[in-house]
Structure 1
Amino acid sequence: MKNLLLKTTKTVAILAALFGLFTLQSCKDDDGTVTPTEEIVEDGFYIQGGATAYSGFDIKATLKTAKNEVLQEDRATLLEVYVAVKAGTEGFNIIQVNGATKTTWGPGTDWTTAMGGNEEPQVDIQRGDIEEGTSVFTVPADGLYHVVIDTETGRGAIVPVKWGFIGQATPGGWSGDTEFDAPAFDMTTMTYGLSDVVMSSGEYKFRYSGGWKVELDSTLDLGDGNKGVKFNTNYGGALDALVAGGTNMTTDQSGIYDVAITWTAGSGHSATLTRTGDVPPRDWSNVSIGLIGDGVNNGNWDGELHATTPAKDGDTYTYAFTGVELVNAGGFKLRTAGTWDDVNLGYSSDVLTGPDKADITDDGGNMKVAADGTYDLLFVIDAKAETMSLSVTKK
């Protein structure tokens, strides 16, 4: 595929953003001849075809710059759009506009369909080279699809989108997605969601079809040892400003929630999370928590040491880790025994207390002791207030 540097004309771009595409008003020459109406379209790549809502050039069907997940930075040649597509043979093409030149792109000879791999959406993903020509892309079922191309490598992918969420705050934790109810098919907007979901306080993200990313290329040298081109299939950031591959979002309070993520043609995705009810304070009595990481003497990241259940006083639960040898050579966390789905406590200045809390430093989100030493650690959870603290005392 040609790697073209697309031109941008400011006047056209502004008008195109306002009107999608527009025409110049016809006028008469001196001899009375009517000049044909001309279509002026902003340079770029457009979805177009009978299986979509777009038979002409529409700004809502423009592929836009996406992040390369490898670096989590915008990649000028990586372009994406979420689009509603109908099943059948009509299909669609990607039309490239570069000045007066319009080029039609379709699937290449190696375009194949296969189940997503590790960390990819667990659905049949179409991907391969894209080639100049009128062969159309087709899909097996009506639905929302993520269409992505990279103009440098000439690769592309089409992925079915089934939204859900995942994380400590969700019913499935970080181990499994909670899939949202699918909406009726619509070419303009679709909302995926669930009602009456019991959530805990903690982190979560939206992702579709059970995956974090999709790989288009594994060999392209990006420098500094980084290789390949991948695109995100998850959203973080904030409910009112979703970011592909963004930071985890959080719930401040356990409760019953209604959750929804809405796709709208031309404007992308937006989300809502509404708390509708309370849940009783959690009973932590039988929950075992330990220390994990190479910052604990004889420890590693494969399993916990010093795991214990708490002493209970009303809704307050205290985990006592006494005589723990911490080493400066590595970092550590507190986590629920055997899983990251529940307690997953790294460095937080708001949580640390006690006479020697300054000995604990931030090690890329993990905790790290300033110098080797033996410590008593008290981890306290107030289940009613949904707060936690870690007291640090050097022996």
Structure 2
Amino acid sequence: MYDYLVVGAGLAGSTIAERLATQLGASVLVIDKRPHVAGNTHDPVDADGLRYHQYGPHIFHTNSAEVVAYLSAFTAWRPYEHRVLARAGDRLVPIPINRTTINTLYGLDLDAAAVARFLADRAVPFARIENSEQMIVSRVGRELYETFFRGYTRKHWGLDPAELDASVCGRIPTRTGDDDRYFTDAFQAMPAEGYTAMVERMLASPEIDVVLGTDFAAIADRARFGHVIYTGPIDEYFDCKFGRLPYRSLRFEFETRDVGYVQPVGCINEPAIDVAHTRTTEYKHLTGQTLAKTILSREYPSAEGDPYYPIPRPENRELYRKYANLARAQRAVTFVGRLAEYRYYNMDQVVASALATFEDLASTAAAAS
């Protein structure tokens, strides 16, 4: 008998399991269908001693002091500010667009104020922003939209930006100064020993048992658990009763090279539609390792495979709402995380959601005692 069954050993499940065990003294069984913990943040070390992210780059950044304080109990941090270059013809320029991007592309020497005017002159106003194409074109104009956003978005999402919510490309800022960081959050760092080591520490309580390589569907005797925390795809929990929720997946090609570094930055984006992959990541930039070899991955988006990205479209949100209504009726099951909530969460948002969910569970447990 366990007080709780946590389905999924990623950040959401591990956060809740740790809180339940250490704060409430609850007995917790954590299961995961994969052979490892940490979910998509899993970062093993290969035979050459190189750490890499098995499911693509995960860069930690947040403005939440609460999330930083919580995770800092399980890891030291290595400061890291992520930088990305995008290929435009035969040149690599910073993305998000900044002053260097504009001056390099157009052979100019504009200051920040002149860059702002340059972009404003090209921006196309819309009475109402209804999709991602309009969002970008309203900020930087059609030429820069075609150069950096349309092809990349079509490859990544399998849809034209005009078919996606404005929020998708709305996440990407436009800058007029020289700041070339991909993120501007107050806290930007990587777990010093990796995400997997951090999650292993989160799950180290003697009140937590972890069983890997086990699917939720294989758990026949669910009466052994007082409550279930479910972090998997919400549609699968309900046997896809209303149809499958759409996701985008990724396929990775890894390559090790006998050189110190290949790229000047962690990621290089490939916006051109005739280039099959979307970006190449060199993990030593992220991990800070100083080995003689380096490991890279190329990402190929796909409609098939493990679910990575919920696709933000009105019809998909409506389908999710049907499942969410069923979920609310489940008294002994709590749904949390990117897949269970069908939300495009960053890592810190996953942890914040899990911490808030734990507080709700703790309040319920206190009221019942």
TM-score strictly above 0.5: no
TM bin, normalised by shorter chain, reads: under 0.3
Name which one, 1 or 2, has greater alpha-carbon Rg: 1
TM-score by length of 2: 0.20
Larger RCO: Structure 1 or Structure 2 (Cα < 8 Å, ≥ 6 residues apart)?
A: 2
- Greater fraction strand: 1
TM-score by length of 1: 0.19
